[in-house]
Structure 1
């Protein structure tokens, strides 16, 4: 059916709102950790699961939800996800203990897994090749605005209200997106194909076990029975999933996409970038608050240059993308991001905010240039009948990179902090900077507090140096693997000749 340009723009706003609610939620929670842990009596382990339970549910269900959206309707699945996300956000705001909050976060992860693949798949099926790059740029710009604006909003909400307000803000956004989607957005599906229940079970169990193993790695190490069992289950389930998908007549995931060098190269580059980005906000907000003594609101405001630079470079990239192709944009943007992480690695308290602000400015400019181009090139290779699961593949790749980044950088940060602390300090003070400063306050030991701040700064520098190396590796990979010129962003291939139906997608009003 024909959809006018003005209506497509309104639908794009709905898709951006749906994405915004997910991004804002993850970011505002980073600045809510100190007051939340104090109010609920949450220890470090509780905080880890409050943050990671969402990722566990989200990453584990992405591929399945993408397949469900192709089969049952992308709008329908997105609306169900928004309803779940909004209701669980309200429950999280009312949580009275860590267990209740963790449970609500799991349900929010399920809702998020239903939302994210649907938004991107609707976008790439609704907009043609001429408009898709601009639409993806707008979508990426909104996501970046939420990424950076989240801590600012979170700090303001905590200052004005209480930590639960960071969850309450999700409810009106989700409700508005649901109403707008039902009124404006046509339903779209992929061609009918037989369900793949075994593929869904294997992918969900394998991805959940893999994320679980990554989460537990910093706490227990690779040889602990919990970590080893989760890793073994992940390997067995995901290997069985790949073997099954290769022989299944109607696979849930088109693994043939990875034969395309643009898709596979873009995927691996995005993974490396997300590994580098994984712990950025969580690490830096701790530095700004614990080491420099900024309030949550002030810490959030520090990220504004990153948002401004990202939005400006998003707009510039949209104009240049069709002329120079994806590869130059991606490589240049990633190199700039690596320089930004390098500046953050050189940050020290005596230098104040100069280096953090400059580093975040470069990260925003590089990310705004590279990420939309990488996603556009990757998604441009996905056939429309697989738009939902193709979008889920993209999301899964990035989530796995982010989870690996959080685990790896968290491990580096924790080990580096402990190693840099004086051996004479109490064990509790050597666990984390929060514990170190708390112990110093209780004992009135100013020397211990200073040692904790210096130890955290040293550990943070090591973590950001690793991030710089990861993003630089992604730039080299993109330069080697991605096709040159405009070919990297060429239109997605047509449906295979043996597809159950010749139509790439169907769209009907409901």
Structure 2
């Protein structure tokens, strides 16, 4: 292959990628704010709320590897447009859904579209930007994601206050349409026809293995970790995922290229990014319900009160590049993870009487820690990829990140649910009412309002804050472990040098496409 000369349209093309990522960021935070409202209107349990979040994430994570390969073989721009179209279709289905199961199904369809959008948006970057500009491009994409995150709660809160809950899905339609138009007119087509074929068996093993694992974690608070079905699901997940790894290692041209993990820079940056997503996903599952159910804010007010975290993330995304150039990736990633750990442990001191000011403080620190750890970790991982494996490699990176997010929602959500149920005082309530109250803090407040029990409402708030404290302590410990691993093992590569070798050949030469 020959190297591609500097693309004069590369910054305009980045605009198309930014629009695509904006769709995902916008949607993810809209749902976080909408979950408490949807739980009340659809009578959704905590487990069903987790599935509304995780149906999207599990499909997203399990299909990103084949999605990256499809882009390599058939055109990254073409498959990115397909992903946006599928995401648009899933949003239409979600807006028309009439019950919890229909919402979960629509979220799964949206996950298919997101699986195409995420890795292909990242895989185009090595073809458009050299090592001296790639970090800036990643920073701009991260900033766009950060912009989409506060816009999601704000717009979603406004819609929930004035329209039915399905409007939070309908708003994705113009966003996805904008992304499609930007890709058609601005993004050049690249492909690598020599990339591995998509393996149907491997894809099935990935999907079923991750699905079994997430199902077992979500159901554990109801059934108990030692339940026979739980043990069977964990065992099935282990067998399926182990079979996937063994099968891929024997393939001459594997879909899951384990050789990429042998590259220290790619492996360690991917682990760091995965642990960051684990922490952030758990936080974003717990905090909106705290702001709504415990502090009593409406959906729009909740969106406003998430802005400090988004502001911290945007500051970090903008400031990461000069700090990276001065101190190197190892120091910046480690410091970002330490800040994230401090924010989580500070947040674990939250009480029902803390008020919003204290929450705003640790949320802003959370955003700073997230931004200063995720931007250099992603840049380091992408910079370590062989140029001819950009699609599958970025798909592998995105897969690990989303698996981290899925397990974060499932595991930390289950810890929250279990701690809430154990602490909630339902003495004196009839059996059915006691059972209903333990389903979620939203349900407990509904039962308290029905029975006029101020004691139950106060117990629900105390129990939820206790559960959130458990989640934040686990997040803080996970962040400290990640910081230690980064400090000990992460290559200390300045962003302008990346791997220290001559820049690899570009992924592919631009090819003509009818849409250009």
TM over 0.5: yes
After TM superposition, the structure 1 stretch with the greater mean CA deviation from structure 2, 163-172 or 205-214, is 205-214
Q: 1:187 to 1:363 in 2, by over 3 A?
A: same
Alignment equivalent of 1:257, drawn from 256, 260, 271: 260
Say which SS state the counterpart of residue 353 (structure 1) adopts: helix
Counterpart in 1 of 2:353? 350
Residues 435-494 of structure 1 deviation map (CA, whole Å, 9 limit, x = unaligned): 221111111111111111111112211211111111111111100110225389624978
What is the correspondence of 1:195-234 to structure 2 with a 5 Å cutoff? 195=197, 197=199, 198-234=201-237
Question: Whole-Å Cα distance in 2 between the matches of residues 450 and 504 of structure 1?
Answer: 58
Aligned-pair distance for 1:38?
A: 4.0
**For the Cα contact (< 8 Å) 2:324–2:495, is it kept in 1?**
no
Q: 1:130 to 1:508 in 2, by over 3 A?
A: same
Residues 151-198 of structure 1 deviation map (CA, whole Å, 9 limit, x = unaligned): 222112212333222111111111111122112211111241452524
**For the Cα contact (< 8 Å) 1:413–1:456, is it kept in 2?**
yes
**For the Cα contact (< 8 Å) 1:12–1:135, is it kept in 2?**
yes
Alignment equivalent of 1:459, drawn from 445, 460, 467: 467
TM-score w.r.t. structure 1 length? 0.93
Counterpart in 1 of 2:402? 399
Counterpart in 2 of 1:154? 156
Counterpart in 2 of 1:499? none
Aligned-pair distance for 1:413?
A: 1.2
Counterpart in 2 of 1:247? 250
Alignment equivalent of 2:52, drawn from 50, 53, 64: 50
After TM superposition, the structure 1 stretch with the greater mean CA deviation from structure 2, 428-437 or 371-380, is 428-437
Alignment equivalent of 2:117, drawn from 95, 115, 118: 115
Q: 1:52 to 1:331 in 2, by over 3 A?
A: same
Residues 287-324 of structure 1 deviation map (CA, whole Å, 9 limit, x = unaligned): 11111111111111111122222212221112222232
Question: Whole-Å Cα distance in 1 between the matches of residues 251 and 500 of structure 2?
Answer: 23
**For the Cα contact (< 8 Å) 1:196–1:250, is it kept in 2?**
no
Say which SS state the counterpart of residue 166 (structure 1) adopts: helix
Question: Whole-Å Cα distance in 2 between the matches of residues 49 and 405 of structure 1?
Answer: 13
Greater relative contact order (CA < 8 Å, ≥ 6 in sequence): 2
Aligned-pair distance for 1:226?
A: 4.2
Question: Whole-Å Cα distance in 2 between the matches of residues 53 and 242 of structure 1?
Answer: 23
Structure 2 portions without partners, runs of 5+:
none
Question: Whole-Å Cα distance in 2 between the matches of residues 491 and 507 of structure 1?
Answer: 25
What is the correspondence of 1:185-196 to structure 2 with a 5 Å cutoff? 185-193=187-195, 195=197
Is 1:293 aligned with 2:296?
A: yes
**For the Cα contact (< 8 Å) 2:46–2:439, is it kept in 1?**
no
**For the Cα contact (< 8 Å) 2:159–2:165, is it kept in 1?**
yes
Say which SS state the counterpart of residue 112 (structure 1) adopts: helix
Question: Whole-Å Cα distance in 1 between the matches of residues 10 and 109 of structure 2?
Answer: 31
Question: Whole-Å Cα distance in 2 between the matches of residues 64 and 196 of structure 1?
Answer: 5
Say which SS state the counterpart of residue 151 (structure 1) adopts: helix
Counterpart in 1 of 2:419? 416
Aligned-pair distance for 1:335?
A: 0.9
**For the Cα contact (< 8 Å) 1:63–1:203, is it kept in 2?**
no
**For the Cα contact (< 8 Å) 1:92–1:100, is it kept in 2?**
yes
Say which SS state the counterpart of residue 492 (structure 2) adopts: coil
Aligned residues: 504
Alignment equivalent of 2:10, drawn from 8, 11, 24: 8
TM-score w.r.t. structure 2 length? 0.92
Structure 1 portions without partners, runs of 5+:
497-501
Aligned-pair distance for 1:337?
A: 1.1
Counterpart in 2 of 1:390? 393
Counterpart in 2 of 1:102? 104
Q: 1:492 to 1:57 in 2, by over 3 A?
A: farther
Question: Whole-Å Cα distance in 2 between the matches of residues 454 and 324 of structure 1?
Answer: 43
Question: Whole-Å Cα distance in 2 between the matches of residues 115 and 331 of structure 1?
Answer: 29
Question: Whole-Å Cα distance in 1 between the matches of residues 63 and 166 of structure 2?
Answer: 26
Question: Whole-Å Cα distance in 2 between the matches of residues 419 and 13 of structure 1?
Answer: 49
Question: Whole-Å Cα distance in 2 between the matches of residues 120 and 83 of structure 1?
Answer: 18
Residues 119-169 of structure 1 deviation map (CA, whole Å, 9 limit, x = unaligned): 010123211111100000111111122234322221122123332221111
RMSD of equivalent CA atoms? 2.3
Question: Whole-Å Cα distance in 1 between the matches of residues 37 and 507 of structure 2?
Answer: 50
Question: Whole-Å Cα distance in 1 between the matches of residues 275 and 196 of structure 2?
Answer: 35
